[in-house]
Structure 1
Amino acid sequence: MSTEVALPPAEGTQDAPWHRLDRRMLLIRPVLDLVRSLPVLLGALLFGHGESWQWVGLAFTAIAVCTGVSHVLTSRYRITATQVEWHTGLLLRKQRAIPRDRIRTVDVTSEPKHRLFSLAAARIGTGRHSNTGSRHKDELVLDAVTIAEAQRLRTLLLHRKEVEAPAAAATPPEQLVAAVDKKWLRYAPFTLSGLAVVGAAVGTVYHFAHELHFDPVRFSLVQAVVGHFAETPAWLSLALAAVGLLVVVSLLSVAGYVLSFWNFRLTREPAGTLHVRRGLITTRSVSIEEERLRGVEIREPLPLRLAGGARCVAIAAGLREGKGADKGGGLLLPPAPLARAHEVVAEVLGEDPAATPLTRHPRRALYRRLSRAVTGVLLLAAALFALARLGPLPDWPWQVALLLLPFAALVGWDRYRGLGHAFTGRYLVTRSGSLDRGTAAVRCDGMTGVVVERSYFQRRAGLVTVIAPVAAGKGHYRVLDVGEPDGLALADRAVPGLLTPFLTGQRDRG
């Protein structure tokens, strides 16, 4: 028997009551563990008949189920004046404790398995990440507790306010900041989230067909479709395939939008907390303390920008930055009209620094973006041309690559057109990107410093990149390819006095 201890128990915690996970989870956890072990179980039953290793697969499945049941029966937790303590395990006992002053997030998620019995999973996190990317050391998951208990934990740990009777406690009034509108569904196809689903589905089907040596063309329906495309002109086949793909991707994107943002509500609580609720099948509740808010970012991917839409994301300490705004905890507004995104920014921050007119960057930044975009396409075309001359490839790939030159130049020009920065009040505003444009407004008092970078080519062009490190969001936000005098002045203004010795020395040498 081994024991893992994160922190020793705090003094004066003997009277703090212990709580256990809801026993109704015992009706769910064994089924989930059995489903996870299904490949091993099926392999043992189908291919291990009469073999000694068949019992190994059955034993593995039994151990997995028993471990899940043991976790539910032995897990217990308590909230003391200084920390959150959690104990679990029968043979392998684990004990953890998280200081309450380090707690930054309490995410409440209710998946379909929880909603069957009105349960939820409460994730108590410190907002820190280990170098390995694992969150297990910085996140405590209570799976599962009642919804009332999860809300009590959120109020107690984030608002630092005791709730004596969750069922009888009066719900504090909330101020509605934003709610989803059914008209916003028109922006769903422009998120292209359905494209990832189609790609994953095609990849999975191809993988299994390849592994099982199965030819889908043997189906009569597939044969009819293939024969129809073989008899039609190539350009018409490509057009029909593109239209079909567009319809499927649009439908899947709309479905994904509904599943993720159904009943989306952003409210402000009297305790100074922004509260986000969303989800249809899996519901999620996230709290963002306004005192930990370091700014906001308006994200405009190219398809969504062409439709006049945008997303709004909070830059706050302690929130996980997911792959995309939807997966992270800082989403303040789903894909919606750009004007509504600016209204949410003004409501959350009390002003809208993201709407400030931005200073354009020098024309030398345009030349850098055009040269980088065009050079990448030329190198690709040269590589394909060399392969064509050596024999492995035909000539048309490098010819198609050359046709991409105008599009590459257009992207480079659009990247320059999107560059801009401003300094307004307490906020440093920076905008960049073309395919995924973002406008970030970062509070200067939330910066941990300022970094001025110059590459060899930037020095030749008289440009610099100013980096604003922030202990929130992406971790840093860049003002790309700004003129050297303007960049140094901007950095000195953002963090007054930090660069003064360097600027004074530069003027003395001048």
Structure 2
Amino acid sequence: MSEPQLEFAAAPSLNEPPEWLRLNGVMVIVTPLKEIVRAAIPLVAVFFAGGGVHGWGQWLSLAGVAALIARGVTHWATARYRITDDQVELRSGLFNRKTRAVPRDRIRTVDITSEWQHRLFGLSALKIGTGRQDKSKDDELILDAITKTEAERLRTVLLTKTSTAPSVVDSVPAAETELVRVDRRWTWYAPFTLSGIAVVAAAFGAVWHFANDLHIRPDDITILHDGLELVGTESPWVLIPAAIVVLLLVATIASVLGYILSYWNFSVAREPSGTLHIRHGLLNTRSVSIEEARLRGVEVKETLPLRFVHGGRATAVVSGLRTGRGDERGGGLLLPAAPVAEAHLVAAKVLREPVDPTTASLTSHPRAALRRRLTRAVVSVLALALLAWIGYQLDILPFWVWIVFLVLTPFSAWLGHDRYRSLGHTLTHGYLVSRSGSLVRETIALRSDGVIGWRVHASYFQRRAGLVTLVATTAAGRGGYHVTDAGTSQALAFADEVVPDLVAQFLEPAT
């Protein structure tokens, strides 16, 4: 008698990828709302341009709103995402199906942003980046929108490089160590950052652009028309100071409001996993995570007005996180405008150093650098004064223009001297430290093991003065940091000291 045959079901695969997940359904409201707010001015312009109760403008505006709503619904209906052991994937699109994947070992930044539209419904947008600086967004993936709890958990999962699937129940997060929290009294430093002037200029440009598009002239608005007539009757000696006062007042209000909106509750904390967690924002909140293993240094920036009130701000130099000049709201910001002593303190804490390397004594540059800066500052202003005087003689410019440039000559000379006093460099405790600038004085402390190469260049006038500019290249921050107008032998010796044997092979041996 034969033995009965037993049948066993096939064992399930242990490596099956997780299921595809939907974004939060509320995004069918959030996405159209965001798009409608951004397109508000063009929609209003089209609405009123149609004219009449049954004008074409009204129908086009309604069609535009309907298209934005349909876009949001379509994106939610087609978008799916999943996180595997190897990559993060997102696919979307109805007619043009698109799948985007970011390898987990290439993830450099995980940012969480919550605009006011998100916060109405308790949602966030999770932005995953690889640190690439080209204009392509192929290596950038955004999950918009997911719940705040899910966003925080995914941030931890992606930064710790674990294989935890999105369906796993959250664990209790480990306690953070807070390094700094912005004191709300520091808001008074905001007017000294020059950001308000930039905001006013940008707002003026935007209004001027839309006014031209709508064929609106200042004379068409009664208040502006009366104001222009009043201005035309005033002397320039009264008009110019009044205009400066108004500009400073508006810029001050704009800078304070911008500071509050951007840096409300700003804090930097260190997580036990070795990650710096930066949070800030009032209406639109942002959460940025930086792995300390990718930290290459810090930079302390002081605008000229901030220096008068002993203020400054600190920025992290991070591998895979590029920042441009003036990128005050960049992901690497460690401290907005605050007392400069606090900027140095948070920089030291972030670097795990007893004192901030940027406070070290610097080696001064040759006197030729002083002559170069004075010449460039004074001659440029005198040249402008000469051109303005010629314009006055030709009845192109008013008389007072070239007088203004002459009055600015002593200030430009002081500015040139101040730029020289700011120059300096040194090597301290394994950090390359360099300082330059006057209107914006920048002091960089870069880890010497983060320097991957050198560039030495000199213009014609620099060569005649025996000066060069030494650039330390690095895969972090701006990609290159300058030691400006140093002596040729001084710069080469410094480069060899920072990275031994890298430059020496290209130097001629001393005889």
Same fold (TM over 0.5): yes
Structure 2 partner of 1:144: 145
Structure 2 partner of 1:215: 219
Counterpart amino acid of residue 253 in structure 1: S
The structural deviation recorded for 1:437 is 0.5
The structural deviation recorded for 1:247 is 2.9
Q: Structure 2 matches for 1:418-437, cutoff 5 A? A: 418-437=422-441
Contact 1:129 1:138 in 2 (8 A): no
- Aligned with 2:252 (options 230, 250, 259): 250
**1:295-316 deviations in whole A, cap 9, x for unaligned?**
0000001111111000000000
Q: Structure 2 matches for 1:250-399, cutoff 5 A? A: 250-322=252-324, 324-351=326-353, 352-399=356-403
Q: Number of paired residues?
A: 492
Q: Which region of structure 1 is more displaced relative to structure 2, 356-365 or 62-71?
A: 62-71
Structure 2 partner of 1:159: 160
Q: Which region of structure 1 is more displaced relative to structure 2, 42-51 or 206-215?
A: 42-51
Structure 2 partner of 1:4: none
Structure 2 partner of 1:198: 200
Give yes or no for the alignment of 1:70 onto 2:71: no
SS of the counterpart of 2:490? helix
Q: 1:32 to 1:452 in 2, by over 3 A?
A: closer
- Aligned with 1:47 (options 45, 50, 61): 50
Contact 2:180 2:267 in 1 (8 A): yes
Contact 1:149 1:166 in 2 (8 A): no
Runs (5+) with no aligned partner, structure 1: 1-10
Contact 1:467 1:479 in 2 (8 A): yes
Q: Percent identity?
A: 50
Distance 1:364 1:143 in 2: 55
Distance 1:33 1:259 in 2: 21
Structure 1 partner of 2:8: none
The structural deviation recorded for 1:257 is 1.1
**1:107-132 deviations in whole A, cap 9, x for unaligned?**
000000100111001100000122xx
**1:426-467 deviations in whole A, cap 9, x for unaligned?**
110000000010000011111111122222222222222211
Distance 2:435 2:322 in 1: 22
The structural deviation recorded for 1:252 is 2.2
Structure 2 partner of 1:83: 87
**1:18-54 deviations in whole A, cap 9, x for unaligned?**
2211001112223344455663686378539889999
Counterpart amino acid of residue 335 in structure 2: L
Structure 1 partner of 2:412: 408
Contact 2:50 2:57 in 1 (8 A): no
Counterpart amino acid of residue 343 in structure 1: L
Q: 1:386 to 1:25 in 2, by over 3 A?
A: same
**1:473-492 deviations in whole A, cap 9, x for unaligned?**
11100001112222111011
Structure 2 partner of 1:100: 104
Distance 2:36 2:187 in 1: 38
- Aligned with 2:498 (options 479, 491, 494): 494
Counterpart amino acid of residue 313 in structure 1: T
Distance 1:261 1:419 in 2: 31
The structural deviation recorded for 1:294 is 0.6
The structural deviation recorded for 1:289 is 0.5
- How does the TM-score come out when normalised to structure 2? 0.88
**1:68-109 deviations in whole A, cap 9, x for unaligned?**
211111111111111111111111100111111110000000
Distance 1:464 1:386 in 2: 36
SS of the counterpart of 2:172? coil
Distance 1:234 1:45 in 2: 39
Distance 2:389 2:189 in 1: 40
Distance 1:501 1:168 in 2: 55
Contact 1:209 1:215 in 2 (8 A): no
Runs (5+) with no aligned partner, structure 2: 1-12
- How does the TM-score come out when normalised to structure 1? 0.88
The structural deviation recorded for 1:403 is 2.5
Distance 2:44 2:242 in 1: 44
The structural deviation recorded for 1:199 is 2.7
Give yes or no for the alignment of 1:117 onto 2:121: yes
- Aligned with 2:19 (options 17, 20, 26): 17
Contact 1:360 1:420 in 2 (8 A): yes
Distance 1:34 1:246 in 2: 33
**1:163-183 deviations in whole A, cap 9, x for unaligned?**
577774212111110001122
The structural deviation recorded for 1:16 is 1.7
Structure 1 partner of 2:4: none
**1:152-205 deviations in whole A, cap 9, x for unaligned?**
111111122355777742121111100011221221111132223333344444
SS of the counterpart of 2:421? helix
**1:130-160 deviations in whole A, cap 9, x for unaligned?**
2xxx241221111111111111111111122
Distance 1:314 1:90 in 2: 41
- Aligned with 1:184 (options 167, 183, 186): 186
Distance 1:13 1:96 in 2: 21
Distance 2:82 2:286 in 1: 23
Q: Which region of structure 1 is more displaced relative to structure 2, 138-147 or 152-161?
A: 152-161
SS of the counterpart of 2:18? coil
Contact 2:126 2:151 in 1 (8 A): yes
SS of the counterpart of 1:398? helix
Counterpart amino acid of residue 281 in structure 2: G
Q: 1:340 to 1:179 in 2, by over 3 A?
A: same
Contact 1:13 1:81 in 2 (8 A): no
Distance 2:57 2:190 in 1: 50
Q: 1:35 to 1:303 in 2, by over 3 A?
A: closer
SS of the counterpart of 1:19? coil
The structural deviation recorded for 1:214 is 4.6
Contact 1:163 1:169 in 2 (8 A): no
SS of the counterpart of 2:26? helix
SS of the counterpart of 2:506? helix
CA RMSD, Structure 1 to Structure 2 (Å) = 2.9
Distance 1:90 1:129 in 2: 29
Distance 1:243 1:33 in 2: 37
Counterpart amino acid of residue 65 in structure 1: I
